[in-house]
Amino acid sequence: MSNLRTQAFGIDFFTGTKDELLNSISQDIHRPYSYIVTPNIDHVVQLQSNADMRESYQRAGKRICDSRILMPILKSLGVAVPEVITGSDLTLSILRKANDERLSVVLIGSSEDDVGKLRRMYPHIQLTHYNPPMGFINDPLETQKCVDFVMQNPSEFILYAVGAPRQEKLARQIDSSKRTGVGLCIGASILFAVGTVKRAPRWMQKARLEWLHRLCSEPKRLAKRYVHDALSILPIYLKERSSRRT
């Protein structure tokens, strides 16, 4: 049950370790469909004004802390998150599991080149792939094509790699009464997994500087978002802290 030790910013956080999460996922792949979202600073900011995103978060099976910047904020609010579980690291663990156990994966999003790399790196995954057009989430027919593809291709895992909040909105439209498996909203994780985009060195990750590495790698795409998030998160945090004290 949600309480002050698991909930902040309207998000009920998963408060287990990565090993506990993976054990839970191993059981959930045989149960009615559910999906996992990965809260970070940008998501917290989006949730304040995006009702559609909030609904996607409320319906998610698990909400894991994806950000080394968000984690100390949560701890200052008394939310007991034992470790950060980044979407990129979780995606790698899922791909290895699927490859080792010869499981099926549906991938929504990603280029044909990256999918080719993925098939070569994980040859034992039974992979089916669909890449929707830009702006698909605003077109009911294109969105339905994605939903139909997921429903028509049974698998243990569904990886949504079309970016927030599109992937979260798509993930919640899958009918759990007609499908099993676990969906993961993974953003750009496939790019990291196949080496198209290099992740920050481990020391930068531990120093909570992975955001800086990404900013330097993709300044045109990320600079505006990072500035907006930096300016937005402080008043959001202060409001949250005040409401908890009350």
- pLDDT confidence of residue 210: 81
Domain-embedded: residue 168:
yes
CA distance 180 to 150: 11
Q: Domain limits at 100?
A: 11-191
pLDDT interval class at 224 (50, 70, 90): confident
User: Per-residue pLDDT tens for 25-65?
Assistant: 999 999 999 999 999 999 999 999 999 999 999 999 999 99
| pTM, full prediction | 0.92
CA distance 147 to 132: 11
CA distance 230 to 122: 37
Domain-embedded: residue 222:
no
User: Per-residue pLDDT tens for 3-15?
Assistant: 667 999 999 999 9
Domain-embedded: residue 230:
no
**DSSP per residue, 103-172:** -EEEEES--HHHHHHHHHHSTTSEEEEE-PPTTGGG-HHHHHHHHHHHHHS--SEEEE-S-TTHHHHHHT
Instruction: Tell me: pLDDT of 1 over 90.
Output: no
Domain-embedded: residue 238:
no
Which of 172, 176, 128 is closest to 28 using CA atoms? 176
Number of domains into which the chain is organized: 1
User: Per-residue pLDDT tens for 75-134?
Assistant: 999 998 999 999 999 999 999 999 999 999 999 999 999 999 999 999 999 999 999 999
Domain-embedded: residue 62:
yes
Domain-embedded: residue 175:
yes
86-106: b or e for each residue (b if 16 or more CB lie within 10 Å)?
Answer: bbbbbbeebbebbbeeebbbb
Strand partners, 180: 32
Domain-embedded: residue 17:
yes
Domain-embedded: residue 88:
yes
